[in-house]
Amino acid sequence: MIRDKLFDVQWHFVKQVCQQWLSALDRQRYKLPGQVVVASAITLILICERYKLNPREVMDIADRVIRKGWDLDPRYLRGIRDYFKEELPNE
């Protein structure tokens, strides 16, 4: 039942939560790439576990939401990508 509602996510909510996640990440002094990726993945897996969802399916749905987001608000997604390029270290 929850899985079916994942397709109906509101873009405003997505932007708000992503911004809060970026703010929390920004407050961290050391942002090693492996730590950022694994901590984010663990968060996703635990949330999916809580709601009995397959993380891979959730990632597929998130990919579709991102593609739709490019139509709705390309400046926002471009801004997030630019943030990642500038603020997250390569190594």
Token pair, residue 58, equals: 């959730």
- Single pTM value for the model: 0.79
The answer, yes or no, to whether residue 89 has pLDDT greater than 80, is no
Share of the chain above pLDDT 70, in %: 97
pLDDT digits (tens, 9 = 90+) for 22-66: 888 888 877 788 888 899 999 999 999 999 999 999 999 999 989
SS (H, E, C) 46-59: HHHHHCCCCHHHHH
- Give the Cβ contact number of residue 11 at 10 Å: 13
